[in-house]
Structure 1
Amino acid sequence: MGWLVTAVVVAAAGLGVWLFNRLVSDRNQVGASWSDVDVQLQRRHDLIPNLVEIVKGYAGHERTVLERVVAERNAMHEAQRITDKGAHEPALKKSLSGLVALAEAYPDLKASTHFMQLSAQLAEVENNLQYARRFYNGSVRQYNTRRDQFPDLLVARLFSFQQGEFFAAEADSRSAPGVMR
């Protein structure tokens, strides 16, 4: 009878360790996938000053558009939390759309090889960012689901696993900024 109790205790401990390790793995996947989103955000932020400088050369008097893009870029760059970055995302996308739309009013700008290259890079970054966001949110969904399901929730509560935050965009920012090719 003593060996049966020992076997049950060992099995329960083994299950607890397995559940804990699975939750840690999911939490680490959330962190790694957020890093991928952050890399794409940084790539986009690095392109913005170059775009602003090119547009300045062709449309210097469009100062409000240029200042708004720079201000939104800086605000999002300074945001630390995932939800704060998500809150700044719509304004930055809107500002970028306005900047790229200036190309329509300035045919020389639209024809500029450097502007076209930067626009293509921006389009690529936006596509990569969309993929990274989807992957991140999928990782958060999996982690949160496991964290809230029985028997994982027992381990999650015992070790204070916090719920993951989704990266959500505002309704009007769900599409990528318009980019000229």
Structure 2
Amino acid sequence: MKKLLIPLTIIIGLFVILALIFAPKYNQFVNLEEEVNQQKSQIETQLQRRGDLIPNLVSTVQGYASHEEEIFTDIAEARSKLSGSENVEEMAEANNDMTSALSRLLAISENYPDLKADSQFTGLRDELAGAENRIAVARKDYNEAVQEYNKNTRTFPGNMVAGILGFNEKPYFEAEESSKEVPEIEFNTEQDDE
């Protein structure tokens, strides 16, 4: 009986030690993952807020620059792509497309002094700038949460716990390399006479 008791005690002791290591790490991963999810939700909320401003901005600009159809199409496509994104990578790519299209839209306004003076346009432009700032903050907060989560999935003993329990690294919300380039904008100096 004593010979059986010693190995059983060792097995129970190892189980207790593993439980003391795994339980807090598991709880930490759950908390970190929830923080990442909450920060991702903040990005989605801010992108939606910006998306809600876009139809008003587009209709205001269309009244002055109806012949700039390509930019309106690009914005509609980017908005559709953004609303259909299913993961962070798709959301980041769609956001880059939207940001590029919006910057071209705002650049077009330089050709229309009456538009630049329109109070509705300037109000929408200011709201859009505020939305862009909130998106930047949400992206930063998300990436910080992902950094903390990923550090814990890659360092010991977290990497063992993460591997066993299926906690995988999360992707950062990154800008594409092409979004770092200044977009080229061609201005149509001829305006339609209507």
TM value normalised by structure 2: 0.83
Aligned pairs (5 A) from 1:54-133: 54-133=60-139
Residue number among 43, 46, 51 corresponding to 2:52 in the alignment = 46
Count of residue pairs brought into register by the alignment: 177
For residues 84 and 65 of structure 1, the distance between their equivalents in structure 2, rounded to whole angstroms, comes to: 21
Query: Quick one: percent identity of the two aligned structures?
Result: 34
Computed over aligned residues only, the root mean square deviation of the Cα atoms, in angstroms, reads: 2.3
For residues 50 and 16 of structure 1, the distance between their equivalents in structure 2, rounded to whole angstroms, comes to: 52
Displacement of 1:171: 2.8
Partner of 2:34: 28
Displacement of 1:4: 8.4
Report the structure number with the largest CA radius of gyration: 2
Deviation readout 1:33-69 (Å, 9 max, x if unpaired) = 0000111111111111111100111111111111111
| Secondary structure of 2:86's aligned partner | coil
| Secondary structure of 1:61's aligned partner | coil
Partner of 1:143: 149
Structure 1 runs (4+) deviating above 6 angstroms are 2-5
For residues 180 and 36 of structure 2, the distance between their equivalents in structure 1, rounded to whole angstroms, comes to: 22
For residues 82 and 12 of structure 1, the distance between their equivalents in structure 2, rounded to whole angstroms, comes to: 34
What residue ranges of structure 2 are gaps of 5+ in the alignment?
A: 1-7, 184-194
Displacement of 1:10: 2.9
| Secondary structure of 2:174's aligned partner | coil
Contact 1:89 1:173 (C-alpha < 8 Å) held by counterparts: no
| Secondary structure of 1:98's aligned partner | helix
TM value normalised by structure 1: 0.89
Partner of 2:24: 18
